[in-house]
């Protein structure tokens, strides 16, 4: 007997189709068995004729049944039956990833997410203008028409790599030629490429504890063993790193994620010595280096690397848009040669048009102006967040990792637990994020700490949301 669920996301005709198909494959409806007539099925199931016709038509199309003149539909002979025992229709797939997150976020009025950005900061008018100019440029000298309709090499658009090499030297002291710059579609794809490049050296990776969970997820996905190295007041605990057999260390020395710790030059030199002595590599994750709100940007670790041990990673997600899926890595010369050999038959995963627009965006000076503008805007949000927290909670709340980036750690020493903070915020329709997801060893995580991103909220929303949280947590 068929069972139909009118509340299911699966259409009724598909429910009929799935159940009859399962019955045929399991042998419950044997060869030659006659199916109920259209009229009988409609009457039995209290449904319309079109619904039954659609189900029977699909079964006939796939060869499970056949129409016999004057006798209705009969089950066809099927050889090599799968003998599927389930006669019920398959359950709809549960939503996952960003689809699930978008559905959940509809229930919240405010979301202190770190991952997304405020779309109002994107230079829409300039980006649209440059895109139109490039698409309209059919001058053979520019090469745009040829590039647009050709496959590009795995490393990306060379003019953009020239622009990035020049900018990184001016802003971060990165010393490289354009050929060492590789255009990628995000930090995680960058790490995936590095894992292939370091296939022989990458049996154990040292990760900061706490650290970026998105990076940890890549290593876990590829079954790479990791060791969690605690982050102290001056950065990675070198004693723990030195005792390990790790040949790769993934660190964020200029603005540690999420603590905001800045690694001093003495510690940087010690880690460089560790890399040289052990013939190891350092993955320098410089994810939000442009967003500093006090003092000058910290020079990169790559700038003091004289032995080709540092792989430098950067992204445009925080200063432009995560939806563009553009990042870059700077490989030491020896690894660039490996890259050319291994990925010689691959193409760049970032669309050429977006690379060409960014190239012109940087070449015409829009990039520098945009950075100045966005730093001013983000600093206002940062200062507003910090000042509002201090006004509302005073000494009861401690802020970690301020003066840079788009996130903070908010700790309530001796206050409500992380679970209670998240739960009460959700009741007020505010999404806050537990800090524990940034620790691989949850026992090391503070019990009353939240990971708060403010980049996608307006200034007025930051104040309103924090006041609502104060009321919800009291």
- pLDDT tens-digit map of 141-176: 677 767 888 888 999 999 999 999 999 999 899 999
146, part of any domain? no
Encoded tokens for 173: 């002291």
Based on the domain organization, do 195 and 323 belong to the same domain?
Answer: yes
What per-residue confidence (pLDDT) applies to 90?
55
CATH number of the CATH domain containing 400: 3.90.1150.10
Instruction: Report the number of distinct structural domains present in the chain.
Output: 3
What per-residue confidence (pLDDT) applies to 350?
94
Based on the domain organization, do 337 and 291 belong to the same domain?
Answer: yes
Sheet holding 398-400, edge to edge: 398-400, 407-411, 449-453, 433-434
Give the domain-ending residue among 335, 363, 391: 363
Beta strand 110-111 with 430-431: parallel, antiparallel or unpaired?
parallel
Report which of 31, 81, 21 is spatially closest to residue 55, judged by C-alpha positions.
Answer: 21
DSSP 99-133: HHHHHHHTT-SEE--SSS--GGGS-HHHHHHHHHH
Phi, psi of 92, rounded to the nearest 5 degrees = -60, 145
Distance separating alpha carbons of residues 319 and 292, to the nearest angstrom:
12
Residue 315 belongs to what H/E stretch?
A: strand 310-315
Spacing of C-alpha 345 from chain mean position: 26
Residue 74 belongs to what H/E stretch?
A: strand 72-75
Based on the domain organization, do 386 and 331 belong to the same domain?
Answer: no
396, part of any domain? yes
Give the domain-ending residue among 363, 388, 407: 363
466, part of any domain? yes
Based on the domain organization, do 381 and 345 belong to the same domain?
Answer: no
Peptide linkage before 214 cis (omega within 30 of 0): no
CB 382 within 8 A of CB 402: yes
Q: What is the pTM of this model?
A: 0.78
134, part of any domain? no
What per-residue confidence (pLDDT) applies to 85?
45
Report which of 296, 214, 215, 206 is spatially closest to residue 254, judged by C-alpha positions.
Answer: 296
Give the domain-ending residue among 309, 341, 363: 363
Based on the domain organization, do 376 and 465 belong to the same domain?
Answer: yes
Based on the domain organization, do 337 and 356 belong to the same domain?
Answer: yes
CATH number of the CATH domain containing 274: 3.40.640.10
Based on the domain organization, do 213 and 311 belong to the same domain?
Answer: yes
Based on the domain organization, do 208 and 227 belong to the same domain?
Answer: yes
Based on the domain organization, do 159 and 183 belong to the same domain?
Answer: yes
Encoded tokens for 204: 């154990």
Domain containing residue 423: 98-112+369-473
Encoded tokens for 100: 């699930």
2, part of any domain? no
With a CB cutoff of 8 Å and minimum separation 6, the contacts of 305 are 272, 282, 332
- Residues with pLDDT less than 70, the chain: 79-106, 140-141, 145, 293-297
Beta strand 430-431 with 407-411: parallel, antiparallel or unpaired?
unpaired
- For 141-237, list the strands marked E by DSSP: 181-184, 204-209, 225-232, 235-236
What per-residue confidence (pLDDT) applies to 87?
45
Orientation of helix 352-363 relative to helix 124-136, angle to 10°: 110
Based on the domain organization, do 192 and 50 belong to the same domain?
Answer: no
What per-residue confidence (pLDDT) applies to 84?
47
Distance separating alpha carbons of residues 274 and 201, to the nearest angstrom:
15
50, part of any domain? yes
Based on the domain organization, do 381 and 342 belong to the same domain?
Answer: no
268 exposed, middle or buried (CB, 10 Å; 0-12, 13-18, 19+)? buried
Based on the domain organization, do 261 and 176 belong to the same domain?
Answer: yes
Spacing of C-alpha 321 from chain mean position: 12
298, part of any domain? yes
Which residue matches tokens 């189709």? Answer: 17
CATH number of the CATH domain containing 22: 1.10.10.10
Phi-psi region of 263 (alpha: psi -120 to 50; beta: other; left: phi over 0): beta
């Amino acid at each position: 007997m068929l069972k139909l669920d009118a509340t299911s996301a699966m259409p009724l005709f598909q429910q009929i189709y799935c159940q009859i198909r399962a019955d045929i494959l399991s042998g419950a409806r044997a060869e030659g068995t006659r199916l109920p007539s259209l009229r009988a099925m409609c009457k039995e199931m209290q449904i319309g004729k079109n619904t039954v016709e659609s189900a029977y038509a699909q079964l006939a199309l796939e060869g499970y049944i056949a129409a016999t003149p004057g006798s209705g539909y009969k089950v066809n002979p099927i050889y090599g039956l799968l003998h599927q025992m389930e006669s019920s229709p398959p359950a709809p797939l549960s939503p996952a990833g960003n689809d699930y997150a978008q559905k959940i976020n509809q229930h919240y009025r405010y979301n202190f997410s770190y991952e997304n950005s405020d779309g109002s900061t994107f230079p829409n008018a300039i980006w649209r203008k440059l895109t139109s100019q490039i698409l309209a440029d059919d001058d053979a000298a520019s090469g745009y028409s040829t590039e647009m309709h050709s496959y590009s090499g795995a490393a990306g658009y060379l003019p953009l790599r020239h622009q990035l090499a020049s900018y990184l030297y001016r802003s971060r002291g990165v010393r490289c030629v354009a050929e060492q710059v590789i255009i990628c579609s995000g930090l995680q794809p960058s790490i995936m490429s590095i894992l292939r490049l370091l296939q022989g050296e990458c049996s154990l990776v040292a990760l900061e504890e706490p650290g970026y969970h998105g990076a940890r997820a890549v290593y876990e996905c590829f079954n790479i063993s990791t060791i969690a190295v605690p982050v102290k007041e001056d950065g990675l605990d070198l004693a723990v790193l030195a005792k390990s057999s790790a040949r790769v260390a993934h660190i964020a020395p200029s603005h540690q994620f999420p603590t905001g710790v800045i690694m001093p030059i003495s510690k940087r030199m010690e880690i460089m010595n560790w890399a040289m002595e052990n013939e190891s590599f350092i993955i320098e994750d410089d994810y939000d280096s442009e967003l500093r709100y006090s003092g000058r940007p910290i020079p990169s670790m790559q700038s003091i690397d004289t032995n080709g041990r540092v792989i430098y990673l950067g992204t445009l997600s925080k200063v432009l848009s995560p939806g563009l899926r553009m990042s870059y890595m700077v490989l030491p010369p020896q690894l660039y040669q490996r890259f050319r050999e291994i990925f010689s038959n691959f193409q760049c995963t970032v669309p050429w048009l977006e690379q060409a627009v960014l190239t012109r965006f940087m070449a015409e000076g829009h990039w520098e102006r945009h950075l100045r503008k966005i730093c001013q805007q983000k600093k206002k949000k940062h200062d507003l967040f910090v000042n509002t927290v201090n006004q509302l909670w005073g000494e009861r709340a401690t802020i970690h990792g301020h003066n840079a980036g788009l996130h903070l750690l908010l700790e309530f020493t001796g206050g409500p637990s992380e679970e209670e903070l998240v739960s009460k915020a959700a009741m007020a329709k505010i999404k806050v994020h537990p800090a524990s997801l940034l620790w691989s060893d949850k026992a090391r995580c503070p019990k009353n700490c939240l990971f708060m991103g403010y980049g996608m909220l307006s200034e007025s929303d930051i104040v309103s949301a924090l006041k609502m949280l104060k009321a919800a947590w009291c």
